[in-house]
Amino acid sequence: MIKIATIAGSDASGGAGLEADLKTFEEYGLYGMAAVTVIATMDPDNSWAHKVFPVDERGLRAQFETIFKGVGVVAVKSGMLGTFYAVEIAREYITSYKIAKYVLDPVMVCKGAGEALNPELNSAIAEKLLPLTEVVTPNLFEAEQLSGLAGIDSLEKMREAARIIHGKGARHVFIKGGAKLPGQDRALDILYDGKDFLTLDDELIKTNWNHGAGCTSSAAITAGLARGLSVTAAAELAKKFITTSLKAGFALNQWVGPGDPSAWRSGNIFK
């Protein structure tokens, strides 16, 4: 069994965070593990407002020992890190255990959790983790923060941001334009390897039930790498996987709904 891990927050509602990652790993036939960085909760009595409860440093380090030393992994993804010590511990273990297949999803904020935005933490993530990264998977907002470019609203600006982010050390930059790129009737993402740009183009799924889409797509890229795919093949398959998952999005309540990572079993991602 191929072993893979996510370093991420738990989304108690199950659609994003490590729950989305583990569901995705399962669909790729992998053995998934998780180091929980923070616990994210949503308040049904207060418009689904998010709260974040960090796991303490000892508890976090003990999980890394279990996963990296006790079991071993071929690929690792990180999502919401939440604290400076989580960034530092992630850097330490990815470096000492020489994890080449490391995917950084630079989660900076989740919908409804403006208070989670922390510029200093984002700078620490960029400085300490980007140089270890095989693929970084920002959405447009995160690409603006990582590159310092404001108003990324076209493929050309996405490419410019990708060049800057590549210059900060990530070996591949995958920017998710998805449904957010203005004036497009397709969902467009780009992949940059420092030399060439690939545009990934798929059906635009117009849905409100897209919670966890970013987590799922970066988990799918990591899972593809764990399976031995090239970065390009992993990104292309992840794109099909997320499109299929979003087509099957569903409501959890009046506020939120996730995609369905298992949807390919009836929809078939390989088509």
Which residues are near ligand PXL by CB under 6 A?
8-11, 16-17, 40, 79-80, 107, 110, 212, 214-215
| Alpha carbon distances (Å) from 194 to 170, 191, 225 | 9, 9, 18
By beta-carbon proximity to ligand PXL, the closer residue of 21 and 27 is: 21
Instruction: Please enumerate in sequence order all residues whose Cβ is within 8 A of that of 83, keeping only pairs 6 or more positions apart, or say none.
Output: 37, 38, 54, 57, 121
Given a contact cutoff of 8 angstroms between Cβ atoms, the answer to whether 180 and 140 are in contact is yes
By beta-carbon proximity to ligand PXL, the closer residue of 79 and 177 is: 79
Query: C-beta of 96: minimal distance to ligand PXL in Å?
Result: 25
By beta-carbon proximity to ligand PXL, the closer residue of 53 and 62 is: 53
By beta-carbon proximity to ligand PXL, the closer residue of 40 and 87 is: 40
Query: C-beta of 182: minimal distance to ligand PXL in Å?
Result: 21
Query: C-beta of 124: minimal distance to ligand PXL in Å?
Result: 17
By beta-carbon proximity to ligand PXL, the closer residue of 76 and 166 is: 76
Residue type, 51: K
Query: C-beta of 256: minimal distance to ligand PXL in Å?
Result: 8
In degrees, to the nearest 5, what angle opens at C-alpha 13 toward C-alphas 66 and 265?
85
Query: C-beta of 68: minimal distance to ligand PXL in Å?
Result: 21
How far is it, in rounded angstroms, from Cα 86 to Cα 129? 11
Given a contact cutoff of 8 angstroms between Cβ atoms, the answer to whether 187 and 217 are in contact is no
DSSP 205: -
- Look at the alpha carbons of 83, 87, 93, 96 in this order and tell me if their dihedral is positive or negative: negative
